[in-house]
Amino acid sequence: MRLSNRLNNFDAYLGTAMNLILTKMRTEGKDVINLGLGDPDVQPPEHLRRALADACLDVNHHHYPSFYSPRPLKEAMANWYQRRFGSVLDPETEVLPLLGSAEGLFHIHSCLLDPGDVALVPDPAYPAYAAGVAIAGGVAIKVPLLEENNFLPDLKAIPQDVARQAKMIWVNYPNNPTSAEANLGFYQQLVDWARRYDVAVIADNPYSEICFDDFCPPSFLMADGAREVGIEFNSLSKAYNCCGWRIGMVLGNKEIISAMAKVKSHSDRGIYYPIQVAATAALDGPIDFMEGRNKMFTERRDVVVDSLNKLGIKATRPKATFYVWAPVPKGHSNSKEFCFSFLEKEAVWMIPGSMYGQYGEGYFRIALTHSTERLGEAMARLARFLG
């Protein structure tokens, strides 16, 4: 078979290979604790599961969903952004529902890049950004996210010729994997910078509702002029505890939204109608469950951060996301060696920072996706491993 050369330019999603390894370990009888995957042990509230079940029973809901008007869902998304962030968006031209935001993160590159075009991609980062650039034939230039800059990109440090060449820049706050947050001031600077160099801003905000200690993450679209220069992805996956539903959204710049709709008109036939009905119910419905859910993540965060600190690992206490980003303990040569030897000895999987890019080296990521008891057990195994 003559496969494309393009396949050599990116790696498969790291979670897929790890799931095979962890499943094999489980079949060998090991009590594996997977702190890698960002899919927590939570469920959508009952009224949403019921809305989905009822919509499935309707015999009219099983045709190609693109034959239905997607307007109620688009309106619910626009209204949600207005209520949550104060951003007024036209549901027809500035909002597009997605099959999970991952789908949009992929297609955006076909909308903005021709072969050889430059995209600025943070490092460390969610691997789909750089992979999407490579699959579209673009060139990813990495923008380091350093601890001394609170894991924000230093826009002034991007050389002017690189900024002029770039067609797009990815930003993701609250951030995966570092769990860093951005404020509105940062987004305003980003809009000004993007205008100066004519670069499209692509903001990824799926953790906007996973926040603690009275911190309320802003949206890029809150910045003045944001929708002239860019878009934002968001998702119901983490906000409404429904990672498996595959429902997300892209909002903002009309030209990009229309380009994305054009690409999607060939890549899918719309979102399964019962998911649209349930997602509309979610966005229009009560959000009181989020408070209890976030309190639960706060408790888990504190168990993990306190345990790491006791072990002499100085982890930052995140204000958002369900990830803890921590430095590799002394005595280990790099993040992969540390995480894989811990997995082998104690059957706990945490993600090596270098899997998110070269500037992720020296760190590892823990997902707070299990109960405090199970996280406590993982931390006890870590204490034993470090001796």
Ligand X SMILES: Cc1ncc(COP(=O)(O)O)c(C=O)c1O
235 binds ligand X (CB under 6 A): yes
* Identity of the residue, 212 or 233, whose beta carbon is nearer to ligand X in the bound complex: 233
What residues between 278 and 317 interact with ligand X by CB under 6 A? none
Can residue 100 be called a binding residue for ligand X (CB under 6 A)? yes
- 102 is a site residue for ligand X (CB under 6 A): yes
- Residue 376 CB, nearest approach to ligand X (Å): 24
Tokens of 219: 């949206």
Q: List the one residue from 34, 87, 172, 276 that touches ligand X (CB under 6 A).
A: 172
Measuring CA to CA, how many Å separate 26 from each of 31, 32, 379? Answer: 6, 6, 19
Distance CA(40)–CA(348), nearest Å, equals 16
The reply on whether position 129 binds ligand X by CB under 6 A is no
Give the per-residue contact string, 23-62, with ligand X (x = CB under 6 A; - = no). Answer: ---------------x------------------------
- Selected binder of ligand X within 237, 307, 335, 369 (CB under 6 A): 237
Separation of alpha carbons 147 and 104, rounded Å: 29
* Residue 152 backbone class (left: φ over 0; alpha: ψ -120 to 50; beta: rest): beta
| Residue 123 interacts with ligand X (CB under 6 A): yes or no | no
Binder of ligand X out of 163, 180, 243, 277 (CB under 6 A): 243
Find the part of the chain contacting ligand X (CB under 6 A) among 98-106, 133-141, 262-270, 345-353. 98-106
Contact 110, 136 (CB under 8 A): yes
Residue 253 within binding range of ligand X, rule CB under 6 A: no
**C-alpha to C-alpha distance for 378 and 6, rounded to whole angstroms:** 39
Q: How far apart are CA 30 and CA 359, in angstroms?
A: 32
Nearest to 176 by CA among 14, 385, 347, 340: 14
DSSP state of 322: S
Binding site for ligand X (CB under 6 A): 38, 100-102, 105, 126, 172, 176, 204, 206, 235, 237, 243, 248
